[in-house]
């Protein structure tokens, strides 16, 4: 599908600043960083999680482990998907029992992905707390879910799409608002 | 992604990308069985019936657990408790079960082609759990998964399959699959059980075990049915053992790090020496373990996600 | 009432007729054959642009009556025959009970007289109960109406019994028809053995299961100086043996079915039980050899081996389904389309194989020919008529025919038995001038 770029809302400089701010907020809020683990939701949440972990290491010299969560098997919106989703590996090589889990995703939209991720986490063990970090909170939530850390709140219309581009996958850091093509 | 078949009737009609999708999906799902809570909600609300018209413990339990780990509801029906003994036709039996709003039927039957037959009139997804002497697709998939796990690849490997190839659905499915994936398959056994024309299925035929085993990367031993002897497919177990059994001496000539596989159940010291069956070279129990992941993948790919117009 | 068939193109190799002519029928016999017969006071059929042939004879039919009337009866089977263009059929003895006694033969004859649309000639069993042990009372059976003897469905496996029945039949001047199969080689097989059976995991019947028995039977016929007819040939090997036997002038005749000519085992990929038949459909190479044998006169007769089975018997697992193809209503169109209209054989050869030869082999003296005084059994054909096979429109009680939905060019359009129209799809002007 063709899409049209409506606005470039963040560039690499702004993104870097947002990361630094969020990392600071996390270290301020979590007294015992040694009890913290970060779990990124595939695909971009994983890279955001890794950057956060790296920043925490820089600030406080604590290694915060990063796990990868694939929530395909927990989705409740199968019937709305165009195609069957390929299942990828969940890779969490540490116990989350009694841990402070920081769940990380790129965009918070309806909240259903986060719901699925929390179900999945709870099947894996009983964390002490679950906190949520999303890089963009774009509104239109359908579930009572609110992030603890946000890179940017970005009011959007339902038609619009928010694209968080990351160096690790997309060659450069930027956040775009796009719209399906054909409409002026 | 490339999986939009309605049924899993056999390997013969799967494409290489479809096979890879199943293997990759199984790889992702394998971890679930290692969790403390071995369950994900992917197939919540789906109803599956295991229709086993032939005795089986391994395959049936494996499918049952796979379905349960994906949160599907599964019920098993085996011949002893079935109405087929009352003279009902298979078609009637299946239509009655389907009336209970099943989403998938997993069928094991002694007559080749039965899953295909069901697919001509059933609404549910049909999964072949072994039909007669035709195919056993999930076994071949779990074998391939195990080989890939052990060897890191399938392409270019020399895989020898030894035993009663003629009557083996495991052999057929493996020949089809390994061929598609670029492995070299050699079939070994007495001539009556390995007709030369079977080479056309995509394999070499060799009647000399000592020669075939040389440089093999994978040695797949099949169960030899003792009743074949009654029909003169080979003269005696004693002679079969001397010509075709996998012994430590023969195994030495295989490639270093070669692995030994067997779909089970094993006739110890007939087709394979106990010593080898229990050795570190044997991946027999890994095959069983991987069976769950493969069957989860098959169930997920057929039943999960949106129902669309699909071809079989 | 006299029946006049006007302006048809008459083809009868027996009488060497191949020309346009009228045929007059009186008292169940052919009364005259010439041009421009007056139609005054006669029921007239306009056969312009049609072929008029001596009535077709299917010498290999299973009518299932008595005993398995849910599959077919003498009434429905003979109706199917009439629709298929056949004026006479010979029915095999594997009924329940087996036709191995004069009582059963008489039942078939008398029921046919009352209910059948076409002539029905019972073939009695060679051995009691078709068990291959004791000979039937052939002379008595002939007296009751048996026209030939066969254990069809099974071979006569015991070579000594085969020898004895050939010797006995020779002196009664009757015919033995043999289903050539070595049951040990077939060994429970359900399809042709070869690449396809290995692919499908179905137990195979090797082609030489037939061929070795053809060889044995030729040797026994030669040694006993007997006539022998070999049923439903299916293999290249059989053709070669029969060719050699004919070259040695042995009294061997044989038949082939349309399904063995036009179907091969690659079609079984969908496990369609309507393709399950014994002998099994073989390979494309066998199709080719059989067609060549038809062309070159090595095989004498087209026969259907019409073997009706009810749908619930066929809608089962492949290995559980009974063998057999329901063939009466597609046989003639198949040969017309696949062989005549493709110029592989002539219409003359078709008539020879569907009429003259079976009449001669079965000893039906007044049939299989168009001449004055012969039985007024006629088959009228439209070689241009295009049909789509629809098993749901069959006259037969059963539907087990693999040619469903095939489009074929050429079809029987009228069947006349003893001067009576038993089937017609011809649009007739109700004209008696």
Q: Where along chain B do its domains lie? A: 16-135+289-303, 137-288
* Cβ-Cβ contacts under 8 Å, B193 against chain C: none
**pLDDT tens digit string along B198-218?**
999 999 999 999 999 999 999
In the block, tokens 């079989």 appear at: B312
What ranges in C263-355 are assigned the alpha helix state H? 284-295, 311-314, 331-335, 347-351
Does C305 participate in catalysis according to the annotation? yes
Residue C252's nearest CA partner among C233, C280, C271 is: C233
Each residue of C306-345: pLDDT tens digit? 999 999 999 999 999 999 999 999 999 999 999 999 999 9
Q: Which residues contact B29 (CB under 8 A, 6 or more apart)?
A: A73, A87, B293, B296, B297, B300
pLDDT tens string B254-289: 999 999 999 989 999 999 999 999 999 999 999 999
DSSP class of residue A61 equals: -
Count of beta carbons in the 10 Å neighbourhood of residue A159: 10
Quick check: B202 contacting C, CB < 8 Å? no
- Torsion angles phi and psi, residue B91, rounded to 5: -60, -45
Locate the chain B residue with the closest alpha carbon to C313: B89
Assess whether pLDDT exceeds 70 at residue C374: yes
Helices (H) and strands (E) in chain C, counts: 14, 18
Query: Which tokens hold the place of C228?
Result: 């022998």
What is the distance in angstroms between the Cα of B67 and the nearest Cα belonging to chain A?
13
CA distance B166 to chain C (A): 7
Fold of domain B137-288: Rossmann fold (3.40.50)
Residue A144: name the closest of A120, A101, A99, A108 by CA: A108
CATH 2.40.50.140 fits B16-135+289-303, yes or no: no
Which range has the worst mean pLDDT, A87-96, C42-51, C72-81, C352-361? A87-96
Chain-wide mean pLDDT for chain C?
Answer: 96
| Percent over 90 (pLDDT), chain C | 97
SS3 C301: strand
Distances (CA, A) of C324 to A153, B17, C186: 75, 40, 16
- pLDDT confidence of B306, banded at 50, 70, 90? low
Q: Give the pLDDT confidence of B175-202 residue by residue, as tens digits.
A: 999 999 999 999 999 999 999 999 999 9
Place of tokens 């209209």: C341
CATH 3.20.20.140 fits C55-362, yes or no: yes
Using CB atoms, which chains have 3+ pairs under 8 A with C?
A: B
Q: Return phi, psi of residue C226, to 5°.
A: -115, 160
Q: Please check whether residue C218 is in contact with residue C288, taking contact to mean a CB–CB distance below 8 angstroms.
A: no
Q: Tell whether the model's pLDDT for residue B96 goes beyond 60.
A: yes
Q: Look at A90 and B31 and tell me if their CB atoms are within 8 Å.
A: yes
Q: Is the pLDDT assigned to residue A78 strictly greater than 70?
A: no
Tallying the residues shown for chain C, one arrives at 433
ipTM above 0.85, yes or no: yes
Identify the pLDDT of residue B78: 83
Q: Could you give the residue ranges of the DSSP H alpha helices within C225-341?
A: 236-247, 258-262, 284-295, 311-314, 331-335
Structure tokens that stand for C162 in this block: 């085969």
The count of other CB atoms within 10 Å of the CB of residue B96 is 11
Question: Is residue B76 less than 8 Å (CB to CB) from chain C?
Answer: no
Instruction: Tell me if there are at least 3 CB pairs under 8 Å linking chains A and C.
Output: no
Paired residues of B105 in beta bridges = B49, B126
B299–A contact, CB cutoff 8 A = no
Nearest Cβ partner for B89 among C198, C270, C316:
C316
Same fold, B16-135+289-303 and B137-288: yes
Task: Check CB contact under 8 Å for A78 and B305.
Answer: yes
Q: Is pLDDT at A80 greater than 50 in this prediction? A: no
Residue A171, token pair as written in the block: 């060659």
Whether residue A124 and residue B39 make contact (CB cut-off 8 A), yes or no, is no
Q: What is the pLDDT of residues C50-78, one digit of tens each?
A: 999 999 999 999 999 999 999 999 999 99
Instruction: Please state whether beta strands C17-26 and C2-12 pair in parallel, antiparallel, or not at all (unpaired).
Output: antiparallel
Alpha carbons C237 and C182: distance in angstroms, whole number: 14
- For residue B297, what is the nearest residue in chain A, using CA coordinates? A87
**Looking at the predicted structure, is the pLDDT value of residue A77 above 90?**
no
Q: Is A31 helix (H, G, I), strand (E, B) or coil?
A: coil
C274 DSSP 8-state letter: G
- The shortest CB-CB distance from C200 to any of B91, B134, B195 is to B134
Nearest-angstrom CA–CA distance, C353 and C331: 12
- Written as six digits, the tokens of B210 are 């000592």
A interface with B, Cβ–Cβ < 8 A, is: 70, 72-74, 78-91, 119-120, 123-125
Q: Which helix (H) or strand (E) holds A165?
A: strand A161-165
Domains of chain A: 13-78+88-157 (3.40.50.2020)
Inter-axis angle of helices C208-224 and C236-247, nearest 10: 20
Q: Is the per-residue pLDDT at C432 higher than 50?
A: no
Beta bridge partners of C8: C21
Residue C8 pLDDT > 90: yes
Task: Report the SS3 class of residue A98.
Answer: coil
Instruction: Please state, in angstroms and rounded to a whole number, the distance separating the CA atoms of residues B105 and B52.
Output: 10
Chains touching A (3+ CB pairs < 8 Å): B
Task: Please tell me what DSSP assigns to residue A86.
Answer: P
Q: What is the pLDDT of residues B123-181, one digit of tens each?
A: 999 999 999 999 999 999 999 999 999 999 999 999 999 999 999 999 999 999 999 99
Residue C162 in contact with residue C127, Cβ under 8 Å? no
User: Cα separation of C394 and C292, whole Å?
Assistant: 30
B175-193 burial: b if 16+ Cβ within 10 Å, else e = bbbbbbbebbbbbbbbeeb
Residue from C22, C152, C305, C337 carrying the catalytic annotation:
C305
pLDDT of residue C428: 64
Listed by start position, the domains of chain C span 55-362
Residue of C426, C427, C415 lying closest to C85 (CA atoms): C415
By Cβ distance, the residue of A78, A123, A124 closest to B304 is: A78
Q: C286-297 burial, b if ≥16 CB within 10 A, otherwise e?
A: bbebbbebbeee
Check: CB of residue C269 under 8 Å from CB of residue C314.
no
Tens digit of each residue's pLDDT (9 = 90 or more) over A36-53: 999 999 989 999 999 999
Look-up of token digits 């079939």: B187
3-state secondary structure of C109: helix
Mean pLDDT, rounded, for C361-370: 97
Distance from CA of C317 to the nearest CA of B (A): 6
Please indicate whether, in this complex, the C-beta atoms of B134 and C201 are within 8 angstroms of each other.
yes
Q: Which of B140, B99, B123, B306 is nearest to B222 (CA)?
A: B140
Report residue B312's pLDDT band, with 50, 70 and 90 as the boundaries.
very low
Inter-residue contact C256 to C294 (CB < 8 Å) = yes
Distance CA A120, CA A130 (A): 12
Q: B196: exposed, middle or buried (C-beta count within 10 Å: 0-12, 13-18, 19+)?
A: exposed
C199/B169 Cβ within 8 A:
no
């Amino acid at each position: 599908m063709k899409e049209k770029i409506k606005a470039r809302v963040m560039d690499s400089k702004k993104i870097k600043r947002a990361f630094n701010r969020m990392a600071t907020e996390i270290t301020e809020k979590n007294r015992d960083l040694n009890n913290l683990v970060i779990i990124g939701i595939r695909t971009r949440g994983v890279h955001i999680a890794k950057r956060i972990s790296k920043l925490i290491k820089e600030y406080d010299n604590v290694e915060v482990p990063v796990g990868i969560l694939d929530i395909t098997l927990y989705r409740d919106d199968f019937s709305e998907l165009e195609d069957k989703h390929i299942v990828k590996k969940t890779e969490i090589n540490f116990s989350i029992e009694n841990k402070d889990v920081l769940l990380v995703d790129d965009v918070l939209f309806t909240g259903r992905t986060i719901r699925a991720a929390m179900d999945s986490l709870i099947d894996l063990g009983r964390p002490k707390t679950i906190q949520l970090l999303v890089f963009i909170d774009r509104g239109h939530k359908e579930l009572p879910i609110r992030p603890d850390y946000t890179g940017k709140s970005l009011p959007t219309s339902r038609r619009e799409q928010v694209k968080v581009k990351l160096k690790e996958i997309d060659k450069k850091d930027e956040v775009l608002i796009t719209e399906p093509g054909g409409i002026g | 992604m490339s999986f939009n078949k309605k049924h899993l009737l056999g390997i013969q009609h799967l494409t290489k990308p479809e096979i890879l999708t199943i293997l990759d999906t199984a790889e992702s799902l394998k971890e679930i069985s290692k969790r403390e809570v071995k369950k994900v909600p992917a197939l919540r609300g789906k109803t599956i019936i295991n229709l086993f018209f032939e005795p089986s413990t391994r395959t049936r339990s494996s499918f049952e657990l796979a379905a349960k780990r994906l949160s599907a509801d599964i019920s098993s029906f085996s011949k002893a408790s079935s109405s087929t003994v009352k003279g009902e036709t298979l078609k009637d039996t299946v239509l009655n079960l389907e009336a209970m709003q099943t989403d998938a039927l997993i069928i094991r039957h002694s007559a080749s082609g039965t899953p295909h037959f069901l697919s001509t009139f059933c609404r549910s997804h049909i999964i072949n759990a072994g039909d007669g002497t035709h195919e056993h697709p999930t076994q071949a998939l779990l074998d391939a998964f195990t080989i890939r796990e052990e060897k890191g690849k399938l392409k270019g490997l020399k895989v020898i399959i030894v035993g009663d190839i003629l009557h083996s659905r495991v052999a057929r499915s493996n020949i089809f699959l390994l061929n598609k994936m670029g492995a070299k398959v050699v079939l070994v056994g007495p001539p009556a059980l390995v007709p030369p024309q079977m080479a056309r299925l995509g394999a070499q035929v060799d009647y000399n075990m000592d020669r075939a085993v040389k440089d093999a990367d994978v040695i797949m031993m099949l169960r030899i049915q003792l009743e074949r002897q009654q029909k003169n497919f080979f003269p005696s177990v004693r002679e079969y053992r001397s010509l075709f059994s996998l012994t430590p001496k023969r195994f030495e000539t295989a490639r270093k790090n070669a692995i030994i596989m067997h779909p089970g159940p094993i006739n110890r010291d007939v087709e394979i020496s106990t010593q080898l069956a229990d050795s570190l070279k044997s991946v027999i129990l890994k095959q069983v373990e991987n069976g769950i992941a493969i069957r989860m993948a098959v169930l997920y790919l057929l039943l999960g996600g949106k129902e669309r117009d699909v071809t079989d | 009432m006299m029946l006049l068939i006007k302006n048809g193109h008459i083809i009868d190799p027996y009488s060497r007729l191949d020309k346009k002519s009228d045929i007059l029928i009186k008292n169940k016999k052919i009364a005259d054959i010439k041009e421009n017969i007056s139609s005054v006071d006669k029921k007239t059929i306009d056969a312009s642009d049609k072929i008029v042939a001596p009535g077709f004879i299917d010498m290999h039919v299973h009518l299932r009556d008595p005993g398995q009337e849910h599959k077919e009866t003498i009434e429905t089977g003979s109706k199917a025959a009439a629709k298929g263009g056949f004026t006479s059929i010979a029915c095999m003895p594997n009924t329940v009970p087996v036709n191995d006694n004069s009582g059963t033969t008489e039942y078939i004859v008398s029921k046919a007289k009352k209910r059948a649309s076409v002539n029905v000639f019972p073939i009695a069993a060679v051995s009691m109960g078709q068990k291959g042990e004791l000979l039937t009372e052939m002379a008595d059976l002939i007296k009751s109406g048996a026209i030939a003897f066969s254990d069809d469905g099974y071979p006569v496996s015991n070579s000594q019994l085969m020898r004895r029945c050939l010797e006995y039949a020779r002196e009664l001047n009757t015919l033995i028809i043999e289903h050539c199969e070595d049951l040990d080689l077939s060994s429970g097989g359900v399809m042709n053995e070869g690449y396809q059976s290995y692919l499908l995991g179905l137990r195979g019947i090797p082609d030489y299961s037939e061929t070795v028995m053809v060889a044995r039977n030729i040797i026994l016929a030669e040694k006993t100086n007997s006539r022998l007819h070999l049923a439903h040939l299916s293999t290249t090997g059989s053709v070669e043996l029969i060719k050699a036997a004919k070259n040695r002038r042995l009294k061997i005749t044989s038949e082939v079915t349309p399904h063995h000519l036009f179907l091969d085992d690659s079609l079984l990929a969908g496990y369609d039980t309507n393709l399950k038949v014994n002998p099994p459909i073989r390979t494309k190479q066998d199709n080719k050899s059989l067609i060549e044998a038809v062309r070159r006169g090595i095989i004498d007769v087209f026969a259907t081996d019409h073997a009706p089975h009810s749908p619930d018997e066929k809608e089962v697992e492949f290995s559980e389904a009974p063998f057999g193809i329901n063939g009466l209503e597609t046989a003639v169109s198949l040969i017309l389309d696949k062989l005549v209209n493709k110029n592989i054989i002539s219409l003359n050869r078709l008539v020879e194989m569907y009429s003259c030869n079976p009449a001669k082999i079965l000893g039906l003296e007044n049939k299989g020919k168009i001449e004055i005084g012969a039985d007024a059994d006629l088959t009228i054909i439209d070689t241009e008529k295009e049909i789509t096979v629809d098993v749901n429109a069959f006259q037969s009680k059963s539907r087990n025919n693999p040619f469903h939905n095939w489009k074929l060019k050429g079809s029987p359009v009228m069947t006349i038995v003893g001067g009576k129209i038993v089937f017609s799809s011809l649009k007739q002007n109700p004209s008696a001038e």
